[in-house]
Amino acid sequence: MSLEIIRTIAESDGDLALVTVIDVQGSAPRHPGSKMIVRRTSAGSAGSAGTGGTGGGAAAWVVVAGTVGGGKGEARAIAEAGECIRTGASRLLTLEFQGAEITGQDMICGGTSRLLLEPLQDRAPYRLALQKLRGGERTLLVKVLGGAGPGASAGAGSGAVVPAALLDEQGVPLYGTVPPSAREHAGRALASGAAALLHEEVFLDPLFPDERLLVMGGGYVGQAVAWHAARLGFAVTVADDRAEFSAAGRFPPGTQTLCGPYTRTVEEFRFDSATYVVMVTRGHLTDLECARAVLRKSWRYAGFIGSSRKAGLLREQLSRDGFDPARVAQLHSPIGLRIGAETPEELAVSILAEMIAVRRNAFDRPAVRA
């Protein structure tokens, strides 16, 4: 999602507002860092729109990318984003999801979501971020919230806009002024991919390149993983050392297929903190081959299929091979969440559920670096 949103900001013309979830307390529809872009359009346009404006006719606002949760809360955010465009001022918006009656009109998730709404007047940091993301590099947007008021009307008339600064994946400033607190916490944000609000005043927003999934093994499970993963936004590559199991026609359109030794595949594939690896080859020896190669690389998620006994034996062998046991322990195995899955399709769901948990930082484990 990062790349889609940043691309839209960097390449679109006209008035835009960016809506970002900056903090969540309790249960809310989206996590911090979730984004939505709103633009002005002609009244009566189709799509998710709200209306606003004053004077001789209503302006209409439409979502062009992303979501902050849908429903009444998003409708309010769209309308307030339109006001940001109209006034040229940033603002903070708090959405309450704490209704107590299932038959009532109030939202009942049980939490509170705080949103930053900004008119996108300076797009230079987003264009620079897009260049880095396209090159496979992570970046970190830093926003000091002092220019945005605490309520729906705060900031209006002041002309206040929250400026965006940008750091590269080494924490080196690329654009704008970066406060010391942001530099102190930049490393963890860039490693975990989790957005963070510091001391109620500085928002750290890590941006990752498109997530790439390398499925090692094109059999029934690998095939099912590829089909499900394509719908979850992963750029999927399937590799197998057998030509019949790496044939492009077995996988969804857009899947890259590779045939050859697994060690060569790993050496030639681009590994970084946006890389996910699923090892589901035809047997334990090829899984071991894959694991040995993958442990020398950086990744966000890596796991191999098998029983608990197989996982234990493979980990013992990797430790005897000289790999750090703590690093070996970062491999997910038996792969997937424990849902009693048996069929290839069910196993694919369990594997991808575990990958989503890593994507959303549910395990609070940072990306693994070589």
Quick: pLDDT tens for 67-117.
998 888 889 999 999 999 999 999 999 988 755 544 444 454 668 889 999
Say whether both 34 and 169 belong to one domain.
Answer: yes
Residue 261 lies in a domain: yes
Q: Does residue 283 sit in the same domain as residue 156?
A: no
User: What is the phi/psi pair of residue 189, to 5°?
Assistant: -65, -40
Neighbours of 191 (CB within 10 A): 18
For the record, the structure tokens of 139 come out as 């970046």
Alpha helix (H) residue ranges in 215-361: 220-230, 262-268, 284-294, 308-320, 325-328, 344-359
The CATH number covering residue 258 comes to: 3.40.50.720
Give the integer Cα–Cα distance in Å for 232 and 235: 9
DSSP 8-state symbol, 136: T
Give the range of the structural domain holding residue 239, as residue numbers without chain letter. Answer: 212-359
Question: What is the model's pLDDT at position 42?
Answer: 58
- pLDDT tens profile 333-358: 999 999 999 999 999 999 999 999 99
pLDDT-derived band at 329 (thresholds 50, 70, 90) equals: very high
Residue range 310-331: mean pLDDT, rounded: 96
- Domain finish residue from 191, 207, 223: 207
Same domain membership, residue 225 and residue 192: no
Q: State yes or no: pLDDT of 52 exceeds 60.
A: no
**Same domain? 114 vs 229:** no
* Judgement on whether residues 196 and 237 belong to the same structural domain of the protein: no
Q: In this structure, are 17 and 95 located in the same domain?
A: yes
Q: Does residue 126 form part of some domain?
A: yes
Q: How many CB atoms lie within 10 A of CB 196?
A: 18
Tens-place pLDDT, residues 153-170: 333 334 467 889 999 988
Residue 185 lies in a domain: yes
Q: How far apart are CA 72 and CA 106, in angstroms?
A: 9
At 199-256, the pLDDT tens digits run: 889 999 999 888 999 999 999 999 999 999 999 989 999 999 999 999 999 999 999 9
Are 254 and 237 in contact by the 8 Å Cβ rule? The answer is no
pLDDT value of residue 304: 97
Q: What pLDDT shows up at residue 227?
A: 97
CB neighbourhood size of 188 (10 A): 13
Q: How many domains, in total, are found in the chain?
A: 2
Instruction: Tell me whether strands 49-52 and 35-41 are parallel, antiparallel or unpaired.
Output: unpaired
Q: Are residues 59 and 202 in the same domain?
A: yes
Structure tokens at 143: 């926003």
> What radius of gyration, in Å, describes the C-alpha atoms of the chain?
23
User: By C-alpha distance, which of 176, 154, 29 is closest to 96?
Assistant: 29
Sheet holding 196-198, edge to edge: 173-175, 164-168, 139-144, 202-207, 196-198
What is the structure's pLDDT at 29? 75
CA 133/CA 127 separation, integer angstroms = 10
Higher pLDDT pick, 141 / 160: 141
54 pLDDT band (50/70/90 cuts)?
very low
365: pLDDT strictly greater than 50: yes
Sign, Cα dihedral of 213, 214, 216, 217: positive
In this structure, the dihedral spanned by the alpha carbons of residues 146, 151, 154 and 155, taken in order and rounded to 10 degrees, is 50
Q: Which of 173, 207, 241 is the endpoint of a domain?
A: 207
Last residue of a domain, one of 207, 242, 261: 207
Q: pLDDT of 304-314, one tens digit each?
A: 999 999 999 99
Question: Residue 324 pLDDT more than 50?
Answer: yes
Together in a domain, 227 and 128: no
Is the pLDDT at 280 greater than 70? The verdict is: yes
Phi, psi angles (nearest 5°) of residue 277? -130, 130
In terms of Cα–Cα distance, which of 230, 231, 227, 247 is closest to 345?
Answer: 227
- Residue with more model confidence, 48 or 275: 275
* pLDDT at 156 (0 to 100): 33
Same domain, residue pair 24 and 139: yes
DSSP for 216-255, written as a single string:
E--SHHHHHHHHHHHTTT-EEEEEESSGGGS-GGGS-TT-
Residue-level pLDDT at 147: 56
Rounded Cα distance between 92 and 72, Å, is 17
**Residue 189: pLDDT over 70:** yes
| Pair (167, 82) in one structural domain | yes
